[in-house]
Amino acid sequence: MSKLCLLLGDQLDLQLSSLRQLNKDSDWVVMMEVCSETNYVQHHSRKMLFLFSAMRHFHKTLLQKGYRSIYITLDAPDNQQNFQENLRIIINEKNINTLIVCEPGEWRLENEMYHWEEKLEIPVVITEDDRFLMSRQEFKNYAHGRKSLLMEDFYHMMRKRYSYLMENNKPTGGKWNYDKNNRSKYDYKTEIPKRLEFPPDSITLNIKELIEQWFPNRFGSMEKFTEACTREDALKCLKHFIETSLENYGKYQDAMLDDHHLLFHSRLSHLINSGLLNPKEVCEYALENFKVNNQEDLNSIEAFIRQIIGWREFIRGIYWLKMPDYLESNALDAHQSLPNFYWTGDCKMNCVSKVIKDTQKYAYSHHIQRLMITGNLALLMGIEPKEIHEWYLAVYDDAYEWVELPNTYGMGIYADGGILATKPYAASGNYINKMSNFCKNCQYKVSVKTGPDACPFNYLYWNFLYRNKNKLSKNHRLSMPYRNLERMDTTKLEQINKDSEDFIDSHCSRNLSEQ
């Protein structure tokens, strides 16, 4: 009798808690490519290419390390295309007496697993995912009894707990957070480093063919795929980022460029989320290898550490604290359908079009592109939360629901009504123009507020505040824009509302009057 460990596509870590339970000589590991995972949203073809390649390479590593590992490819003749039925076959074939799985990153799958004991008639052990720096239970304990949950408080606690950037129990440099120093527009001089490229090997090329055959109509391109798909290459990416980009990471964190999608961002999230890199190791590698010579360096490393031990952990904690109700939230009663241009990039707004076309090309956007371009527009237009959530979950190669959903509902569109953010991240064209050079190449004019030439972000911003007055005007962080709205000339406001309704009507199949 043996144990069987099911290893999911985002659990590619030799130290994983479920693998630690196995006896290599007698137990089994199984990994599988299944349609139940490829089809629950319309994942970007490049996201699947990355993940399947990383999975197949990881299976090879498991074999080299002496594990008895089974791999079911998508086109294997006996593939039942879902976890449960494939497991049933292996359990019978290999005479398995216990199934082990590390807790998954999505509620829907964990919920399914709770039925496996009964359906597969075998004990199922779900082990804690200790790749995270705080367990789900610890976060629940932390949240218990707190009136509100603030990332900043959580982050201070995590800094102390891990002694990252701490001196004599005080934050290095005297301040916890240097975010205010991290809002510069790109200076158009600092060299943007080239990133490492890993030409696809035969494993990756075979998967590309498979995806072309099985999913010919998926969003996105698989051309010029040069992603790291092994731990070895992922470690090279980490080292390269620390050596070439981290020094400018903080300063230009919020900057965007028309012709460069990445700037100084790490591009590590898909590697961390899939398990090829461990978040703690990423932080510790950065802390050990990055020399802090001046205030800008400190701003950069503080920002980087904050994203990982602060935002990433906090987001995950909120997800498991609030699911499954969280998925149903719609605090702003938003019901517009997602405009088709989110799938094509064919849109006159240069910033939106570029971000979506880069998403098609790379399955990646950096945080401000997600938050202040595609997220901001969905917020201002009042897009139905589930529609924009499914878009984000599909199109990015780092997207799993535990991290995507709170970012979308909490930060992007304020669907959770303020659990994660203290105010909606709503902005007019002015912000985008301040942080990027998109507006120079746009058919709209950022300086024009209404009419056919006006930047749509300008009128949509005021229309959003006007439409949501009852829900938002009491938020003290919005008191200034609401004061300005109060003072606005009625004719101007009428024009703003008309332009907004026309814009929304022309892009959404459901319109404002139907709400």
Which structure tokens are listed for 345?
A: 């990039």
What does 17 interact with, of ligand SF4, ligand FAD, ligand DLZ, none (CB < 5 to 8 A by kind)? none
Phi/psi class of residue 185: alpha, beta or left (left: φ > 0; alpha: ψ in -120 to 50)? beta
- CA–CA distances in Å: residue 217 to residues 106, 220, 349: 25, 9, 25
* C-alpha span between 464 and 471 (Å, rounded): 11
Q: Which of 432, 435, 426, 417 is nearest to 480 (CA)?
A: 426
DSSP annotation of 348 reads: S
Site residues (vs ligand SF4, CB under 6 A): 349-351, 429, 432-433, 438-439, 442, 444, 446, 455-457
Q: Is 275 in the site for ligand DLZ (CB under 6 A)?
A: no
The total of other beta-carbon atoms located within 10 Å of residue 29's CB is 24
Rule CB under 6 A: say whether 251 interacts with ligand FAD: no
CB of 251 to ligand FAD, least distance (A): 13
Q: Could you say which of 69, 105, 164, 468 contacts ligand DLZ (CB under 6 A)? A: 105
Q: Can you name the residues that pair with 166 across neighbouring β-strands?
A: 171
CB of 121 to ligand FAD, least distance (A): 36
String marking each residue 43-82 x if it binds ligand DLZ according to CB under 6 A: x----x--x-------------------------------
> What is the size of the binding site for ligand FAD (CB under 6 A)?
28
Contact 495, 460 (CB under 8 A): no
Q: CA-to-CA distance for 197 and 210, rounded, in angstroms?
A: 22
Please name which of 332, 400, 337 lies closest in space to residue 50, comparing C-alpha atoms. 400
Site string for ligand FAD, 327-366 (x = CB under 6 A): ---------------------------------------x
d(CA 426, CA 465): 9
Is residue 203 a contact partner of residue 328, using CB atoms and an 8 Å limit?
no
> Please, are residues 25 and 15 in contact by the beta-carbon 8 Å criterion?
no
Distance CA 308, CA 279 (A): 7
Identify what 311 binds: ligand FAD, ligand SF4, ligand DLZ, none; CB under 5 to 8 Å per kind.
ligand FAD
Q: Please, what is the minimum distance in Å from the beta carbon of residue 425 to ligand SF4?
A: 15
411 binds ligand FAD (CB under 6 A): yes
Report, in Å, the least distance between residue 407 CB and ligand SF4.
21
To ligand DLZ, the closest distance from the beta carbon of 415 in angstroms equals 21
Q: Does 8 bind ligand DLZ (CB under 6 A)?
A: yes
Please report how close the Cβ of residue 268 comes to ligand FAD at its closest, in angstroms. 4
Considering beta carbons, is residue 197 or 453 the nearer one to ligand FAD? 197
Among 159, 231, 251, 312, binds ligand FAD (CB under 6 A): 312
- As measured in angstroms, the least distance from the Cβ of 378 to ligand DLZ is 22
Among 5, 62, 90, 109, binds ligand DLZ (CB under 6 A): 109
Give least dist CB 471 to ligand SF4, A: 25
Report the alpha-carbon angle 249-478-253, nearest 5.
Answer: 5
Rg (CA), the chain: 24
399 scored as a contact of ligand FAD (CB under 6 A): yes
With CB under 6 A as the rule, give the number of residues binding ligand DLZ: 16
Give the span between the Cα atoms of 195 and 244, in whole angstroms: 9
How far is it between the farthest Cα atoms of the chain?
A: 78
In terms of residues, how long is the chain? 515
Residues near ligand DLZ (CB under 6 A) are 8-10, 32-34, 37-38, 43, 48, 51, 104-106, 109, 400
